[in-house]
Amino acid sequence: MGHTSGRRGRKRHGGGREAHRISPLTIAGRAVACAAGGSVMAVSGFSWYTYHDLTDGMTTSDALKAVQAPGASAPPHLDKAVNLLLIGLDSRKDQDGKDLSDDFVKNELHAGSSGIGAYETNTLILMHIPADGGKVEAFSIPRDDLVDLVNVPGGHPLGRNKIKEAYNQAKYYAEQKLSKQYSGAELEHRGRDAGRAATLLTVQKFLNVPIDHFAELNLKGFYDVAKALGPITVCLKHDTSDPTHGRTASDPGAGGGSGFVGHQGLNTLDPAMALAFVRQRHHLDDPANEGDFARTHRQQAFIAAVTNKLKQEGVFGDLGKMRGLLDAVKQDVVIDSSWDILDFAQQATNLTGGNVEFNTLPKERYGNDPVAGDVNIVDVAKIQAIVRQSIGVAPAAAPASASPSAAPSSSPSTAPATVDVQGTTAATAGEAAKDLTALGYTAGQASAGTARHSKTTVVYGAGAKDAAQQIATHLNVTSTTASSSVQAGHVLVTLGADYAPPATTAPSTPPAPGAATAPDPGTPSPGASPADQYAGPAVIGGNTCVD
């Protein structure tokens, strides 16, 4: 289907931005058309009409272009899986930057006043939707993780801070720069796009996976989604109450309670109580972290319950229900303008089948930073290894029956290439080569290099570009280089000081009795599954009870 600019009623953030379509619309169009038994042309025509009929007024953003631009160092894809970032914005303003009414914020949202909240991303969830229609893996990033914030090239440096601050700070600095050219709603739109781009770049660097699409929702948007969907049922492990303590008519921003009240077992939530449920962080079984991890699990449980309800009520197969849902959220939800639903629709159906597992990425400890204050200290390399292992790109074990002299054959997902490795020692190079050949690459030379390097590099000869990109992703290297000095069909890996040896194979000899062993920093423990590394239990489907 072709796209044209200037679609009726479409909202664009930033001058001349073209809005595209989102996946639920194709799912709705396809379901209705297929039910009618139409031909391929009828399906396409119906989907096109449905899309145009329902998406007038949708708000889109070009922020993703900054993430996918040359020089952004996006990790390469290994297959056609889709990574979708959900952004929950703690903002009490509309899309033009105008304050929501204090009465609505206080009495409906139970969120103090419109003057608080800023533009922090209190919810960041990356959903990995596999190309083969398998289980969707979702990773929640705690908002207080201390990371390197990444801004767009030429933007103000953001330094190290809590990950939730990337949006807020990038927006502030962008508006300082742009205020001489723009004002009002246009300045707000451009500032928010700067915040989105910084958030996407920061998450992409932190997890070392490419981001394909994003969706952003503020507090009002969440409320409107919950209102359009009707009552949502969640399960609690304990009775709980989180009163809005300290708030008065003269000081509506005081206190910090969400207003949620719930009992052990199943709870049916109206829109206001649904928002209070996902915002609660006091009076929960997570006192050391002020409820942030427990609140993250609540957000996961709510999304899981929503996906179950969408499936049970057949929303994606009912044009009227779909129209009602989209009309309710058009003013509050922002999606990326590059969303190609024709390629995405098949994978997106997994989200409504209860086939989603949510996990929360771990911290090493709590700490205090001179700039950011109280933070989660995280091991970036370990988190990246856990994510890679969870989505199926971790080192694979060599077949037990393979002959030591037999060269492993390439698997369908491994591009053919011969791999040469240079390390600080021949032994280090040999171990790295063994790790790579276990993935299906042909073993080349493994030797000690003539110089020490701070960074690991991946250089490839003619015909080996795809393999080089896969190897770079496996080794957490951000870019690859073509060189005529490397033999055709070969990839040369030069190990640097940043290289972390694989920790997936147990030692060949057992340790002495009583000897303490510790896992390699920056990698999951040998033999441990990703589930052993996460913060708290997984939330699966809509059946998990939370604190």
- Quote the pLDDT of residue 25: 41
**Which structure tokens are listed for 66?**
């900054």
Helix residue ranges, H only, 442-544: 465-474
- Quote the pLDDT of residue 8: 36
Helices 292-312 and 271-279 pack at an angle, to 10 degrees, of 140
- Is 417 within 8 Å of 444 (Cβ atoms)? no
For residue 125, the cross-strand partners are 86, 140
Residue 376 CA to residue 399 CA, distance in Å, equals: 39
Kindly compute the dihedral angle of the four CA atoms of residues 249, 250, 255, 257, in this order, to the nearest 10 degrees. 20
* pTM for this entry: 0.64
Q: Report residue 467: phi and psi, to 5°.
A: -65, -40
Q: What is the side-by-side strand order in the sheet with 545-546?
A: 265-269, 232-236, 545-546
3-class SS string, 447-471: EECCCCCCCCEEEECCCCHHHHHHH
Tokens 């002020």 sit at which residue?
Answer: 290
Angle at 528 between CA 432 and CA 539, to 5 degrees: 125
Q: Report residue 373: phi and psi, to 5°.
A: 80, -140
Q: What is the side-by-side strand order in the sheet with 418-423?
A: 442-448, 418-423, 490-494, 457-460, 481-482
Angle at 21 between CA 203 and CA 66, to 5 degrees: 35
- Is 420 within 8 Å of 493 (Cβ atoms)? yes
Residue 363 CA to residue 216 CA, distance in Å, equals: 25
Could you tell me if residue 537 is left (phi over 0), alpha (psi between -120 and 50 degrees) or otherwise beta?
A: beta
Q: What is the pLDDT along the chain (547 residues), one digit of tens a residue?
A: 333 333 334 455 544 433 344 444 443 343 333 333 332 333 333 344 445 555 566 788 999 988 877 767 677 777 778 899 999 887 778 778 887 777 777 766 766 666 666 788 988 999 998 877 678 888 999 999 999 999 998 899 999 999 999 999 999 999 999 999 999 999 999 999 999 999 999 999 999 999 999 989 887 777 777 777 778 888 888 888 888 755 444 444 444 677 888 888 888 888 888 888 887 877 776 544 445 677 788 888 888 787 777 777 766 556 667 667 767 777 778 888 887 544 554 455 555 555 788 889 999 988 888 889 999 999 999 999 999 888 876 443 333 333 333 333 333 346 788 999 998 787 788 888 888 887 778 888 888 877 778 888 999 999 899 888 888 888 878 788 999 989 999 999 999 887 877 643 333 333 333 343 333 444 455 445 555 677 777 777 666 788 7
